[in-house]
């Protein structure tokens, strides 16, 4: 009987997670599909560092994401536990109806409307570091910040990043690594490998107790060649090696570190593109000047990969709303347009999506949203990329990855399918930080 009681008490503590606060390292691998880790051998992937999490730690069979399933909203959910409607990062690119922002993204943490894990960790008295996490420019709570931003790929981008990073940090880490910090626009595997070396140098020199690291190359390669392509597998294997560099540094300086690996979304191949800009120009909802630039607009698409938000100039105008609803419904009846679903404002709110959008169009798998730059080519066409994401989170192929291992984390445990919003409160609990932003409870191990 005593033996059973001891076992029961041990099980309770195991389910509760680590008994004391531990350092946390959160690594994101953009576009990592759960099957690439869980079925690595079957898919011919040699990724020993990622596979360690399945054997030595706990893992989700899939992570249900947010609307839309694209990088910046998803990464902000990972760091806040909130949906885009609350945290404010509702797409990758900011709303730009006149197309004047030179494809600017939501780089600036001042756009995040709720507290972040960085701030929670700092509030708990922890040292905090970051390497290349999306929406981290000017982020509060980070002691050593290498934020993600780019403009043109010109050498001036390095000056911009140095000005926005923690003062003196880039020169210091460049001296330690003996190399230049990769430009933000570099999403190739060599950029990730360089950032891994900088992350390891930051861990060894500053010993942050909460640190975020972001790798972009897998997403980049899957856009270029499609998910599951041999080139994408090769990139993932190199990312696995880069991950090993970071893991070794973390365990060297703080052996009790709990390490989590997450991704933001899944991936699907694409063969068709539907351009709502063209449809709205043809319907006089967007008026162009002789130079092809936007003169005025009544309804404007906001593309997000496999889906597109539609913003109305007057969202409370019932006549305009009915006009746009009718246009979208007519497009949905055209099989060539590849529209699977159209959500209205009430349905968007229920999914925690963009509150500026009056409609959200979800395309069928295989069809993606066209951009303003490609609207002159017609309503439908062939996309430049062979793979993308961004469909509604209900699409199974959009499931993301979550892996975690370290002291107090059960070995070989499947967590089943989890909500992306549960990751931030889970990590906050592990590091002993007070956290109030999350919309769902922390995971139980």
Residues 352-368, mean pLDDT to the nearest whole number: 98
Three-state DSSP at 106 gives coil
Distances (CA, A) of 312 to 6, 88, 275, 383: 62, 18, 17, 26
**Could you tell me which residues are beta bridge partners of residue 417?**
62
pLDDT in tens, 98-115: 999 999 999 999 999 999
Q: Which is nearest to 72 in space by CA: 98, 50, 104?
A: 104
pLDDT at 131: 99
pLDDT band at 9 (very low <50, low <70, confident <90, very high): very low
pLDDT of amino acid 20:
64
**What is the rounded CA–CA span in Å between residue 351 and residue 360?**
11
Give the pairing type, strands 258-262 and 24-29: parallel
> Which of the four pLDDT bands, split at 50, 70 and 90, describes residue 215?
very high
Q: What is the pLDDT of residues 58-88, one digit of tens each?
A: 999 999 999 999 999 999 999 999 999 999 9
Nearest to 205 by CA among 148, 127, 141: 127
The whole-number pLDDT of residue 19 equals 46
Average pLDDT score over residue span 139-154: 97
pTM of the model: 0.95
Tens of pLDDT, residues 261-316: 999 999 999 999 999 999 999 999 999 999 999 999 999 999 999 999 999 999 99
Give 52's contacts (C-beta < 8 A, 6+ positions apart). Answer: 405
Q: Which residues of 201-230 are buried (b: 16+ CB within 10 A; e: fewer)?
A: bbbebbebbbbbbbbbbbbbbbbbbbbebe
Res 385: pLDDT: 97
Asked if residue 242 has pLDDT above 80, the reply is: yes
Domains of the chain: 21-269+398-431 (3.40.720.10), 272-384 (3.30.1360)
Per-residue confidence at 14, pLDDT binned at 50, 70, 90? very low
What whole-number distance in Å separates Cα of residue 158 and Cα of residue 185? Answer: 10
Q: How many CB atoms lie within 10 A of CB 269?
A: 17
Q: Assign 204 a pLDDT band (cuts: 50, 70, 90).
A: very high
- Decide: 26 and 262 in contact? Cβ < 8 Å: yes
Q: What is the pLDDT of residue 419?
A: 98
> What mean pLDDT, rounded, does the chain reach?
95
CA-to-CA distance for 96 and 102, rounded, in angstroms? Answer: 9
**Residue 17 confidence (pLDDT):** 42
């Amino acid at each position: 009987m005593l033996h059973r009681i001891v076992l029961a008490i041990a099980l309770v503590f195991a389910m509760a997670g680590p008994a004391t606060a531990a350092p946390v390292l959160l690594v994101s691998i953009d576009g990592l599909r759960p099957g690439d880790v869980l079925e690595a051998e079957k898919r011919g992937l040699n990724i020993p560092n990622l596979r360690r999490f399945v054997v030595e730690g706990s893992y989700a069979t899939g992570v249900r994401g947010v609307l839309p399933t694209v990088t910046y909203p998803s990464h902000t959910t990972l760091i806040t536990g909130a949906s885009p409607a609350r945290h404010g990062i509702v797409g990758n690119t900011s709303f730009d109806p006149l197309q004047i922002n030179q494809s600017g993204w939501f780089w600036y943490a001042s756009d995040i409307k709720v507290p972040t894990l960085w701030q929670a960790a700092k509030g708990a008295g922890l040292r905090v570091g970051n390497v290349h996490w999306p929406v981290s420019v000017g982020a509060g709570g980070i002691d050593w910040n290498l934020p993600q931003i780019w403009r043109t790929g010109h050498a001036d981008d390095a000056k911009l990043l140095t000005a926005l990073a923690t003062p003196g940090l880039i020169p210091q880490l460049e001296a330690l690594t003996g190399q230049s910090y990769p430009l933000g626009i570099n999403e190739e595997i060599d950029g990730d490998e360089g950032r891994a070396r900088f992350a390891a140098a930051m861990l060894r020199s500053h010993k942050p107790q909460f640190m975020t690291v972001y790798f972009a190359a897998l997403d980049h390669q899957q856009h270029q060649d499609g998910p599951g392509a041999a080139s994408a597998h090769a990139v993932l294997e190199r990312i696995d090696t880069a991950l090993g560099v970071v893991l070794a540094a973390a365990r060297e300086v703080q052996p009790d570190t709990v390490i989590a690996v997450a991704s933001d979304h899944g991936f699907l191949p694409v063969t068709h593109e539907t351009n709502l800009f063209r449809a709205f120009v043809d319907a006089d909802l967007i008026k162009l000047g002789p130079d092809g630039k936007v003169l005025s607009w009544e309804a404007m698409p906001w593309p997000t990969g496999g889906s597109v938000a539609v913003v109305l100039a007057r969202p409370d105008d019932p006549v305009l709303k009915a006009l746009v609803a009718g246009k979208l419904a007519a497009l949905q009846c055209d099989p060539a347009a590849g529209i699977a679903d159209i959500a209205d404002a009430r349905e968007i709110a229920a999914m925690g999506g963009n509150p500026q959008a009056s409609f959200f169009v979800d395309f069928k798998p295989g069809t993606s949203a066209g951009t303003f730059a490609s609207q002159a080519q017609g309503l439908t066409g062939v996309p430049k990329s062979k793979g993308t994401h961004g469909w509604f989170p209900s699409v199974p192929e959009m499931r993301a990855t979550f892996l975690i291992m370290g002291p107090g984390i059960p070995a070989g445990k499947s967590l089943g399918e989890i909500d992306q919003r549960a990751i931030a409160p889970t990590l906050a609990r592990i590091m002993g930080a007070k956290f109030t932003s999350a919309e769902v409870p922390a995971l139980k191990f």
